[in-house]
Amino acid sequence: MRLFFIGDIVGKPGRAIVCRALPGLIAQQGIDLVIANAENAAAGSGYNPAIHRELMAAGVDGVTLGDHVYRRREVLPLLESEPNVVRPANLPDEAVGRRWAVVQARSGEQVAFFCLLGRLFMNTHAADNPWRHADRVLSEIPSDVRVRFLDFHAEATGEAQTMGRYLDGRCGAVLGTHTHVPTADERILPGGTAFQCDVGMTGPHESILGRRIDRVLSATLTGVPTPFDVASDDNRINGSLVDFDPATGRATAIERVVVDEQRAEQLAGA
């Protein structure tokens, strides 16, 4: 069973390249399931129902969010109604949305997925202990759902690596998001868990973390607040492919994937 995880989709440029390239990539790579972090998909921050429909039509099967989960009020009904969108599981129980979800892959397997917020260098005061909530979620997932996936939305690589080691052998993949910068540490841990600190960003890379360079430089150098508008050039999909043994839920391979604009056009025409 092959899963493709798409890193932080940033604004309209990120959505556009996903919609253009993903159908062809699914066919070319034999992808059975697509999960995307989409917490920045709405103009660079937040998520909404119209974008959800757009990503589902492109071939995304499940959506994880992050620290911007509630940035837009229109997301609240979606979080209550849609069975394939999860909010961070270590927010308070009273928070709107599902803590985990199960979706069916094209190959027929049931796959559980969830996301957690890290706490180091993050403005996530409402987030509880991610380790204990990882235990809690894994204990709630039905035992016959063997393939389990975690999006760990965290800033610190050390915290991400700690989560990977903590869940090694209990979760088929622990892949990170949030920094918008892909790390070159993908590997299969000894217990069969695919791990990577951060799979990177999907959107404009002629930017500073997806935002216009001039706006970020101006605010940094002058101290005068300015909108950090989403940039527009050098769009890329960053993500990772993970192969699983569906009988055990363990990962057998992980591969970083980059789809630039040229390859997106090739995939769109395939």
40 in a known ligand binding site:
yes
d(CA 109, CA 61): 13
Query: Of the residues 68, 125, 133, 205, which is catalytic?
Result: 68
Q: C-alpha angle 132/102/247, rounded to 5°?
A: 90
84 in a known ligand binding site:
no
67 in a known ligand binding site:
yes
In this structure, is the dihedral angle defined by the CA atoms of residues 260, 261, 262 and 268, taken in order, positive or negative? positive
d(CA 174, CA 90): 16
Which residue type sits at 208?
I
Six-digit token pair at 6?
A: 């798409």
133 in a known ligand binding site:
no
d(CA 245, CA 234): 35
144 in a known ligand binding site:
no
In this structure, is the dihedral angle defined by the CA atoms of residues 115, 101, 1 and 201, taken in order, positive or negative? negative
d(CA 85, CA 161): 25
Q: Is 68 a catalytic residue?
A: yes
Q: Which residues are catalytic?
A: 68
Residues annotated within a binding site for Fe cation: 8, 39-40, 67, 153, 178, 180
Q: Which residues are annotated binding-site positions?
A: 8, 39-40, 67, 153, 178, 180
